[in-house]
Amino acid sequence: MIATFLIEIALALYTFMKYKMSELMFVVLMLLGMLGLFQFGEYFVCTSGSETWSRIGYVAITTLPALGIHLFYLLSNNSSRKVVYASYLAMTIFAVYFLASPDVFHGYECTGNYVIFQLNNVARMFYEIYYFGLMFLSICLSIYWLKNHPKSKKKRDLVEALIVGYLVFLVPTAAVTSFIPDTRGGIPSIMCGFAVIFAIILALYIAPRALKKK
């Protein structure tokens, strides 16, 4: 967890030092920072049993699907922002809930490699709809955009990289949880563990092609 945190924060610092600030830069930094913050939160959950860090960690990963939608719109240069605004609204509702609700967590289990956060059943159901729904939407929007913009090579490369970035943590997570059913309770933790590959793609492939150097 600490190793993953250090990698993601190092990537964020590298990106911040190398490129000029812009809306796209801000989204990239937020994605890298929130991935790192979740890993940092997991570490403290495992070492101190802190419910506060459970809440902070969940708020961190709650930002990721909405930031992913925002990233797609910036990479594709899509001026329509209704979906982005709706995504951030849903994100805010869940973030406030995780911070304020006294009974959102029933407990947790630290396995050493990942953490199983025990949400109440209602929260889990709606959160999964939000989380996987927005990620699926982002992939679908990306594929639809690629089909309708065959000549935009530079932008196509960036949007294709975004799709690959999603798949590098969704596919391994699906494989692990399919072959080892007991790990399904730890999907958010397992997914964010694999998402370090997404962070590398974001910082070392997408950022150099989409951001301006200082």
**What pLDDT, in 10s, does the model give residues 70-116?**
999 999 998 788 999 999 999 999 999 988 888 877 666 676 666 66
Q: Would you tell me how many other CB atoms lie within 10 Å of the CB of residue 208?
A: 12
Q: What is the DSSP string of 141-204?
A: HHHHHHHH-TT-HHHHHHHHHHHHHHHHHHHHHHHHHHH-GGGGGGHHHHHHHHHHHHHHHIII
Given this model, what pLDDT does residue 202 score?
Answer: 97
Inform me whether the pLDDT recorded for 9 exceeds 90.
Answer: yes
Locate the domains of the chain by residue range.
2-210
Inform me whether the pLDDT recorded for 212 exceeds 90.
Answer: yes
- Architecture label for domain 2-210: Up-down Bundle (1.20)
Q: Let me know: does 118 contact 107? Beta carbons within 8 Å.
A: yes
**What pLDDT, in 10s, does the model give residues 11-32?**
999 999 999 999 999 999 999 9
Inform me whether the pLDDT recorded for 186 exceeds 80.
Answer: no
Q: Would you tell me how many other CB atoms lie within 10 Å of the CB of residue 139?
A: 17
Phi, psi of 110 (to 5 degrees): -95, 115
